[in-house]
Amino acid sequence: MSLVDYRRKRSFDRTREPEPGKSLPRGRRAIFVVQLHHASSRHYDFRLQIGDALKSWAVPKGPSYDPSVKRMAIEVEDHPLDYADFEGEIPKGEYGGGHVARFDHGVWSTDGDAEAQLAKGHLRFELFGDRLRGSWHLVRSGKPARQPQWLLFKDRDAYAGTLEADDLLADVAAPLPTRRRKDWAKKALALSGAKRGKAPTGPFEAQLAKLGESPPKGEQWLHELKWDGYRILATIADGRVRLWSRNALEWTDRIPEIRDAIAGLRLESGALDGELIAGRGSKEDFNLLQATLSGERQGTLALALFDLLHIDGVDVAAAPLIERKALLQALLEGVPGHLAYSSHIESDGDAAFKLASDTHFEGIISKRLDRPYHGGRSDDWRKTKLLASDEFAVVGYTAPKGSRTGFGSLLLARPDPEHGWLYAGRVGSGFNDALMAEVTTMLGKKGRKTPTVHVPAMDTDLRSATWFAPRFVVEVFYRGIGRQQLLRQPSLKSVRRDKDIADLADSDAAPATGPAKMPAKSKPKPAAKTAAKTTRSRREPPRLSSPTKILFPDIRATKQDVFDYCSAVMDHLLPEIIGRPLSIIRCPSGTAKACFFQKHHTAGLELVSSVRLKEESGGSGEYLVVEDEASLLELVQFNSLEFHPWGSHAAKPDIADRVVFDLDPGPDVPFAEVKQAARDIRKLLTQMELQSFLRVTGGKGLHVVVPLNPGCDWDLTRRFAHGFADTLANTEPDRFVATATKSRRNRRIFIDYLRNGRGATAVASYSLRARDRAPVAMPITWESLGKLKRADAFTIRDVPATLKRRRKDPWAGIDRIKQNLARWAET
């Protein structure tokens, strides 16, 4: 669209209005904005982004929520995208002189081509703003006029009402669709294995499928269409909806139509799993989805929901899938708009696969209908594709030939257990002009002429190619694997903006194989015989991808910095976690974005071992176990920042060898009082003939740690810790509290004894914390406590040097102390 008229009507040396071309936002949803303009005549300016400009109309009385009220909308010149942020005075005497204030803004969508609809004279669209929501119409008037005239009016949908634009200026709440609340908790508790519990407030670990050659057989399977979109996890806590990508990036504000649709379910708490799609969600619609998310199109988005883990205070993740889906279907019954139920076919996988083929879907997902939901990849979910596709890292490019500009083809690589990264071939087809321009920018200008990955055989074009470390992820269609393990007839499917290089380690299948077989992936070994201590292994640590990724933005600390820190403190950190069931906190996009907690092993981990342990739910899970330096650094490669081990070893998971009292201060508790509390607890433990050690948590508090040797069973350990904490709280109620309720912690210290139960964890000594400044959980001597200023005094920047200067380990001999709780068993 031309901005010639906009530029012609303005003198940019006299007005603050943005000049076209100064800064053009890209990579975001198509926006709308409504501005209240006090010019010679008061009116509302209504603007929709189409392409690289804002299509604009002047609406004298503003939009109305009453479908029977049709407001005149006079078409005016297109405006630059930057105008959406403009507010303030246009000088008198200038075109449009007067005050401009933003009334509302957000994103918008429409079914079909927006420009084609405008050309025909009728645009149907949806708005997702703070004040304007729901479906609307713009219809061109047949009356002759100097400027084209349109009618703007509301569709008869769930948002329709009697509100006018001026009503909303007076802080009147925008309308919301209403839905009668139901007793979902009662229905959920009727499911097998359901129990009361809290919903996750952050992203949970998604269940993933393994790739198969054909649909599995048997009545124990159900089969769904494989939606071609982006995985989205939804959580609801206290009525607040949050949306997450599979790699824990928050998408709540990026897809407001999905957020509002889930809010319309009127749940107090919940956890749902689904796929974000455009159109029907078929192969042909994936490009529409990407174009909509990048602002090139205005497609209608929906979330195809296929699983329900929690609803209104009830955890149903342990229930059989078929029961969870029935409850999900009931929840979505009669819900209009942007939520869809992912239906299925039971038993007959061949029929489902044929349906996917006939309707142009990518394939099917087959799921065990009798199994619970669990994070990670397993054989309970299987993926069968019609046309092979996989994700690869871009590691370089060849020069363009002929009339082509930017690059000729992209060089691809896959993770490989022997070489780190193995060259997989190159892709040069499947690009349109816009994608060529975008990818050219992503390639950058830096590179080298020698390969950065293992290349089995160099052809002539590769000798002049530009190479770099794995930089971003693409998904590629191909028709098999040829010699040298190279892709046959590859064609670009998409640039996976939702994936990180590290995600490629967790593939849905082993690396594709051709005539020559690649080395098999090593499987995690049971850790039941792991020793308590070990030296650094001779296994090679994983090659670090994305080393310049910023993980701690406040101090600009990178993934390489975290890797270097863990390597530097390895002799101190490794003994704290080796051989113990382990939970980790991963931050794929750094601490400024969403992080998530993981305790189960996933198939992408090649060096980290696992141990199968019983869980409170009655089932069992494969828990992470670090055995050497290489396996710890593999977790760093997976963007792990915090390490939280059990208080027992994998070889003896039912025997506790440590008691941890976590001193967690409430608001306004000075750190000096926390220090005095630690001293008092030490004194009490000494009176009980129990020696204790001290650790700063890297957060707000301190840990007082009591070693047990030989250990004690968890029941005794928990009873002892609980009784000790209760005694303190009852003796000095003004100082201590032994309940986790935050409202009771004001000016008091919570003695957290809950670290002392089977499956509970505490942060390891020398572990980083996913907080500002990258603080470290650090063991200290009791004598140094007086000089300590704060619990996060030690950081990634200073701990390695501190350890080099330190003459003695403050926890020296902790594992040789002979003490236990046997004498307190009957107390």
The residues carrying an active-site annotation are: 226
Say how far residue 89 (Cα) sits from the centre of its chain.
41
* Matching residue, tokens 């950190």: 573
**Alpha-carbon distance 549 to 589, whole Å?**
8
Residue 63: DSSP 8-state: -
What is the distance between the terminal CA atoms of the chain, rounded to a whole angstrom? 81
**Alpha-carbon distance 209 to 367, whole Å?**
9
Q: Prior bond to 710 cis, omega within 30?
A: yes
> Cβ contacts of residue 719 below 8 Å, gap of 6+?
none
Select from 308, 201, 208, 193 the least CA-distant residue to 597: 201
Q: At residue 313, what is the residue type?
A: G
* Matching residue, tokens 């920042």: 641
CB 721 within 8 A of CB 756: yes
3-state secondary structure string, 668-694? CCCHHHHHHHHHHHHHHHHHCCCCCEE
Give Dmax (Cα) for the chain: 97
**Alpha-carbon distance 637 to 335, whole Å?**
42
* Matching residue, tokens 């630059």: 80
**Alpha-carbon distance 672 to 684, whole Å?**
19
Crossing angle of the two packed helices 570-577 and 629-637, in degrees rounded to 10: 90
CA angle 384, 390, 393 (to 5 degrees): 160
* Matching residue, tokens 């590629």: 476
CB 96 within 8 A of CB 37: yes
Torsion of CA 133, 137, 141, 142, to 10 degrees: 180
**Alpha-carbon distance 632 to 573, whole Å?**
9
CA distances to 512, 688, 717 from 684, rounded to whole Å, are 61, 6, 17
Both tokens assigned to 245: 């990508």
**Alpha-carbon distance 404 to 400, whole Å?**
6
Which helix (DSSP H) or strand (DSSP E) does residue 49 occupy?
strand 42-50
Handedness of CA 575, 580, 583, 586 (dihedral sign): positive
**Alpha-carbon distance 201 to 187, whole Å?**
22
CB 481 within 8 A of CB 402: no
> Cβ contacts of residue 543 below 8 Å, gap of 6+?
420, 421, 637
CB 810 within 8 A of CB 779: yes
**Alpha-carbon distance 764 to 786, whole Å?**
23
Annotate 312-324 with DSSP letters as a single string: TTEE-TTS-HHHH
**For the chain, percent helix, then strand, then coil, each to nearest 5?**
20, 35, 45
Q: How many helices (H) and strands (E) does the chain have?
A: 15, 39
Annotate 488-526 with DSSP letters as a single string: SS-EEEEE-TT--GGGGGS-SSSPP--SSPPPPPPPPPB
Say how far residue 668 (Cα) sits from the centre of its chain.
33
**Alpha-carbon distance 119 to 242, whole Å?**
38
CA angle 649, 653, 656 (to 5 degrees): 75
CB 242 within 8 A of CB 204: no
